[in-house]
Amino acid sequence: MAGNISIGTLAEPTLSKPRINMTMLGALGIVGLALAVGVYGFFHGHMHLYGVTREVPWGILISTYAFFAITSTGLCLLAALGHSFGGNKLAPLGNRAVFLSIITILSAFFCIGLELESPHRMLLYNVISPNFSSNIWWMGTLYGLAVGCMFVEFYAILTRRWTMALAIGIIGALAEVGANTNLGAVFATLVSRPFWYGAQLPVYFLCSAFMSGAAALILFSHLSARLRGVEMDKETFEGVQMAGKVLALTLFLLIVATVWRFISLFVSGNDLAQLAAKNLLSGPLSMNFWVFETIIGLVLPLFILVGTQMKNTTAMAAASIMALVGGFVQRYDLVVAGQETPVFYGWDNLPAYLHYTPSVAELLVVAGGIALTVAGFVAGERFFGKVFSEGAHH
């Protein structure tokens, strides 16, 4: 009945198994370790703990935040599309997409919170001293609005208030689009970093959101069926197929966008932009770019999806894992390549590329963000499992 919530009626009893509980507890243990590392850095100084420097101040924690935030946007948009247009094949995945969107944005906040030296100041001054000309202010504010909307939307789903869930979900999706494009604009409006500067990144981030969101939805829907030890029902399988089509299309578009981005960089005549591009093509980051970004992240998953015609869930899940790994490395390479080229290159015998390597502490925080997503997914399937089969009932 609307307004009444009972874990007994929402939970999935088939998932109350020791191995599943141990998986969740193990993931939470990693989250706790990462949190301890971040708190230690808060008191003793991040510069002593993390691999970032004054010359390269943004590292893997910024790129990991961007990865999770972009994935959350994609999941939220796919949920809104599934819920907004009755009868479409994404509808059965909508409720799970809303929950996963919440989990991934919380993972993003976890990483950025442990990256900032004074996160409490961000929370305070974001409210009492807003800067309406700042992309970062708009990004944080809109992501805060979006996560609030998603919590309300999920509560409405739990209490069967479908009209309310739809309305709040649309507001949340619009907030996510604004936050996601402002995240791209954080990079795209920096004139001093010509590798980032330009109008492409906000749109590129939005396309990446659909890619990452579709990949996450396919992967976690597949894992959900595996946890239960059952085959996907017809409606869910058709929803996963539709998500596979979204994934294939966005992979193709990202390949095209990547090719044209490098072409534009090399015809622009800007030496710093070209040097940063060469860092990816033939420099220190070339292994990341060619192996993880291009082959594993774009080409192979597209071939798998097209070759199997999206009829095999295991193959689609494998393609999704590749796409997510590629998306993670894409965010890292974008952040790092834009900074490893010195702004004053050519002066005072500066090197062609500065150096950045993630520290063990940073990698532990990244592992904590991933573990938080895993723990959240398992907990969601355990305690809200029956709700995820009602996505088509909006």
User: Which CATH number do you get for residue 189?
Assistant: 1.20.1630.10
Residues 6+ apart with CB under 8 A from 327: 67, 70, 71, 208, 211, 212, 215, 297
Q: At what angle do helices 271-281 and 313-340 cross, to 10 degrees?
A: 140
**How close are the terminal C-alpha atoms of the chain, in Å?**
15
Of 147, 103, 22, the residue nearest 372 (C-alpha) = 103
Residue 8's pLDDT is what? 61
Residue 100 lies in a domain: yes
The length of the chain, given as a count of residues: 394
Residue 202's pLDDT is what? 94
Of 373, 366, 6, 23, the residue nearest 226 (C-alpha) = 23
**CA separation, residue 383 to residues 12, 106, 153 (Å):** 6, 18, 17
Residue 1 lies in a domain: no
d(CA 175, CA 181): 10
Residue 2's pLDDT is what? 46
d(CA 112, CA 68): 10
Residue 2 lies in a domain: no
Answer whether 178's CB lies under 8 Å from 36's CB: no
Tell me which DSSP letter residue 168 carries. H
Write out the residue range of the structural domain in which residue 194 sits.
Answer: 7-393
Residue 77 lies in a domain: yes
d(CA 271, CA 73): 34
Residue 1's pLDDT is what? 42
d(CA 375, CA 21): 10
Residue 129 lies in a domain: yes
Residue 114's pLDDT is what? 93
Residue 43 lies in a domain: yes
Residue 237's pLDDT is what? 94
Q: Which residues of the chain have pLDDT under 70?
A: 1-8, 86-87, 346, 348, 390-394
SS3 content of the chain, % helix, strand, coil (to 5): 75, 0, 25
Number of domains in the chain: 1
Tell me which DSSP letter residue 116 carries. S
Residue 57 lies in a domain: yes
Of 323, 321, 387, the residue nearest 94 (C-alpha) = 387
d(CA 59, CA 390): 40
Radius of gyration of the chain (CA): 21
Q: With 0-12 CB in 10 A as exposed, 13-18 as middle and 19+ as buried, what is 286? A: middle
